[in-house]
Chains A and B, each alone.
Chain A
């Protein structure tokens, strides 16, 4: 079993829909990261969080440390949100990330 599990693996949504991507982890962590990878493009860090909730524009990330679970929400989805969203955890401090397999999101106009 992977230390970081994401669901769903693939997600297709209509433009304007509210989207949720889930991430569960099985190890102790110091922080959880949500990353975005566009086709053929690089990786961009969206959020780094260790508790509670963070919001940036139409993106919201939450984490429940007790349940070892995080969610990434996208409100009013748009085709430009189409990308692979990756959940990753750092076990302590400045350590390398352990990655989930990613969720491929397609938003159709």
Chain B
């Protein structure tokens, strides 16, 4: 099967606009993670979904960020009223329980 896919691969938006990023995990993976990597910096955790449990939102940097997941499939990360500091590569990963995480190619977001 296919790996983790993300769309769009690149997104340029104006400050103040909302953006929606999509992640299609590997089929059957119950865990789904969103991470962010700002230019020249390390990876940071944003939000985590595990099956039907309540998501772990402890990494979201502000209430402008939210994410949803439909069952054990697609997830969308939404950033409202984007700011320039939101510019980053947004990475999605998925896994079976207690197994290796597989990363998608990322969405490169640029906020002008």
Q: Which residues of A contact B (CB under 8 A)?
A: 30-31, 33, 35, 41-45, 48, 86, 88, 93-102
Contacts and interface: CB of A to CB of B under 8 A. Distances in A.
Given A96-B33, A97-B45, A99-B43, A45 B102 contact: yes
Contact of A101 (B30, B42, B106): B42
A44 B44 contact: no
A95 B45 CA distance: 10
Nearest to B31: A94
A96 B49 CA distance: 10
A93 B56 contact: no
A93 B97 contact: yes
Contacts, number: 54
B101 A33 contact: yes
13 contacts: A41-B105, A42-B103, A42-B106, A43-B91, A43-B103, A44-B103, A93-B98, A94-B31, A95-B56, A96-B59, A97-B43, A99-B42, A102-B42
A42 B106 CA distance: 7
Question: Interface size bucket, B side?
Answer: 20 to 34
Identify whether the interface residues of A are mostly helix, strand, loop, or mixed: strand
Contacts of A31: 98
Contacts of B104: 42
A99 B44 contact: yes
Contact of A42 (B43, B48, B101, B105): B105
Contacts of A102: 42
B75 interface: no
Given A93-B97, A94-B98, A95-B48, A100 B103 contact: no
B76 interface: no
A96 B45 contact: yes
Contacts of B87: none
Interface string B69-112: 00000000000000000000001010101111111111000000
